[in-house]
Amino acid sequence: MAVTSRLLRLSNSSLIPTTINTISRNFTSQTTLHSSPLWNDNSNNNKPSMLRKRRNVHWVFLGCPGVGKGTYATRLSKLLDVPHIATGDLVRDELASSGSLSPQIAEIVNSGKLVSDEIIVDLLSKRLESGEAKGESGFILDGFPRTIRQAEILEGVVDIDLVVNLKLREEALLAKCLGRRICSHCGENYNVACIDIEGDEESPRLYMAPLLPPDECASKLISRPDDKEEVVRERLRIYNELTRPVEDFYRKRGKLLQFNLPGGIPESWPKLLQALNLDDDHEDGQSAAA
Ligand SMILES: Nc1ncnc2c1ncn2[C@@H]1O[C@H](COP(=O)(O)OP(=O)(O)O)[C@@H](O)[C@H]1O
């Protein structure tokens, strides 16, 4: 469908609030619509060099709180040279800047609920607009879409190539959220939890070493206010209720790649690259696994 008719359809749709017009402008002006999926075109590991150089991906990361969406999306965004856009970060930036929306969203976020589609689309639109001004193209979205309505809005404006659904055993998710620490100085993420879950007939042992901070960050660690146990449980409940159906939305469209994390970063990162057919783009296995 041509971009103009796509926009026309959007602006006529009662589903789409006015802020979405901004998001549609941003997406359509900077993206190649209906591009072929990078990961699907690599059958027999025989990657055409032209394809390997193409980095204009439009990917989405799905997964429960604590699964590691941010960690792996950040790494892939560096590897593919596309922006990693995390709506959770946009929300936290908005709160930190005491912007006009802060009072409205602080209470929602700190109780583990989702902020409204209108607010999140507004924040995402602004982020895309500033990226566009800097010449960005492509993206890895993390934390959006989180509802079927958000998925429909996104589908109305851009053709998503791939949705990576990260999966981790339920027992590990809470521990990962509670162990999460952020350096208040440099913003780097760490995790003090050491996860070691015995294997059984259904799943192998799961070991995830802590990701400890270097000395310069160790005294500056903070936790996210929504990483408290009762709030994490609520976020997990909301994920199951509102975001789980988004997995089906993309499964039906043949875009969902399920990826079970086998352990911590050293085990999971090379396997994720393999699953994405990006393993030979990754020249230095040791440094990436650090
Ligand atoms: N797409 C979204 N829709 C609604 N609320 C969102 C969205 N993305 C982020 N948020 C808000 O920001 C909070 C933090 O998001 P995020 O860092 O992605 O958390 P998580 O670790 O639970 O995946 C969410 O609990 C929610 O309140």
User: What ipTM was reported for this prediction?
Assistant: 0.98
Residue 98, by phi and psi: left (phi above 0), alpha (psi -120 to 50) or beta?
left
Which residues, including other chains, have CB under 8 Å from residue 24's CB and lie 6 or more apart? 6, 7, 10, 156, 157
Contact 266, 288 (CB under 8 A): no
Amino acid at 272: L
Model confidence, pTM: 0.82
Beta carbon of 109 within 6 Å of any ligand 1 atom: yes
Coil, helix or strand at residue 183: strand
Confidence at 98, pLDDT banded by 50, 70, 90: confident
Q: Domains in the chain, please, with CATH?
A: 3-36+55-280 (3.40.50.300)
Beta carbon of 174 within 6 Å of any ligand 1 atom: no
Pocket test for ligand 1, best of 92, 110, 120, 230 (most atoms within 8 A of CB): 120
Pocket test for ligand 1, best of 67, 72, 91 (most atoms within 8 A of CB): 91
169-220 residue pLDDT tens: 988 999 999 999 999 999 999 999 999 999 888 888 999 999 999 999 999 9
Q: Which residue has the tokens 């903070």?
A: 222
DSSP label at residue 93: H
Residue 228: both structure tokens together: 């408290």
Give the span between the Cα atoms of 190 and 183, in whole angstroms.
8
Going from the Cα of 137 to the center of ligand 1, the distance in angstroms, rounded, reads 23
208-257 residue pLDDT tens: 999 999 999 999 999 999 999 999 999 999 999 999 999 999 999 999 99
